[in-house]
Structures are given as C-alpha cells and as structure tokens.
C-alpha cells in the first residue's frame, strides 16, 4: 500500500493546482510592504487588505493580514498586547483581530467553515475555552423529631 503524501495529497483534494495557484497568486500580489509608519497608514493597509479579500474571494485571516502589514505574527501579537506601541495602535490592532474572529464566526454559522476548525481558531485567536464547572452538592443534615414528621405529613393532606 502506497504511503499518503501529506499535506500535498490534501492540498490536491482541495481542487488541485487551481487552488494552489489561486492562493499563491493571491499571497504574492499582497507584496512585501514595509511596516506602517503611523496609525493612518496602518488603517489604510487594513482597508486595502479587506478590499483585496472581497474582490478576490480571499479568506480574511491573521497571517495574510500580517503579510499585508509587512510584519510577523509575533509583532502583531505584541501590538495587540500593547508591546512596543501606544494605546491607539493597540486598540486598532485589537479591532483588526476582532474583525478576523467575527469573519470566522460568520463563516462557521453559515456553514462555510467546519465547526471543529472554527472552534480551534476561536480558541487560539479569541481565547475561547472549554470550561466545565463542578459544584459539590452540600446537604445539611438535620435531626427531625417524630412530631415534626407528623406535622409535615398533615400539611400535605
């Protein structure tokens, strides 16, 4: 039995060379921009990125957005957490990240994204988590006299 050649075999099943070609063309057309100098340029890059995604049927995502900003994922994460930037820059990056998360949520609810993939992405990007809470039932023990039991029974009659 031939050994599966992952991930190449999986990529081919996504529509073969057509899929790969479209993605490679899309990513290469984003170019290799320099890091934005100011908040206005950062906002403009985000708008251009969204326009590009809409016009080319390209899925919005953190990694491709970072590519459009000309920064690494780590730099973007730092900006989202207020590291090496001011609060306005941090708030803008938080909005961009939230936009991607909202896109994932919409893709999931409209059946365009596998729920397992969506949950994984939301756990990693939005801090979603599985949480189970256990409460121990506390029972209060009370000694009841026969006369109290009799009066309780009578109250039900």
Alpha carbons within 13 A on the beta-carbon side of 137:
2
Considering the chain, what percentage of its residues have pLDDT values greater than 90? 43
Residues 100 and 63 sit within 8 Å (Cβ to Cβ): no
CA gap 81, 142 in Å, rounded:
54
56: which 2 tokens?
Answer: 């080319």
Judged against a pLDDT cut of 90, whether residue 155 lies above it is answered with no
Note whether residue 42 is domain-resident. Answer: yes
Note whether residue 132 is domain-resident. Answer: no
Q: Based on the structure, what is the number of domains in the chain?
A: 1
CA gap 79, 134 in Å, rounded:
37
Boundaries of domain holding 84: 10-99
Note whether residue 137 is domain-resident. Answer: no
CA gap 33, 68 in Å, rounded:
7
Taking residue 60's Cβ as centre, other Cβ atoms within 10 Å add up to 20
Model confidence over 108-128: pLDDT tens digits? 999 988 989 889 989 888 888
Note whether residue 79 is domain-resident. Answer: yes
Note whether residue 146 is domain-resident. Answer: no
Note whether residue 108 is domain-resident. Answer: no
Model confidence over 10-66: pLDDT tens digits? 445 555 567 677 777 777 777 778 899 999 999 999 999 999 889 888 889 999 999
């Amino acid at each position: 039995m031939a050994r599966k050649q992952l991930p190449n075999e999986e990529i081919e099943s996504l529509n073969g060379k057509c899929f790969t070609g479209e993605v490679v063309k899309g990513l290469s057309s984003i170019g290799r921009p320099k890091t934005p100098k100011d908040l206005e340029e950062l906002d403009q890059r985000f708008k251009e990125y969204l326009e590009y995604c809409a016009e080319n049927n390209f899925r919005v995502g953190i990694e491709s957005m970072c590519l459009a900003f000309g920064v690494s994922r780590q730099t973007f994460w730092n900006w989202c957490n207020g590291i090496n930037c001011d609060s306005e820059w941090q708030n803008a990056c938080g909005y961009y990240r939230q936009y991607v998360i909202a896109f994932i949520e919409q893709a999931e609810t409209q059946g365009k994204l596998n729920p397992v993939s969506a949950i994984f992405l939301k756990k990693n990007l939005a801090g979603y988590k599985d949480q189970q809470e256990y409460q121990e039932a506390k029972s209060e023990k009370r000694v009841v006299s026969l006369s109290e039991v009799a009066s309780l029974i009578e109250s039900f009659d």
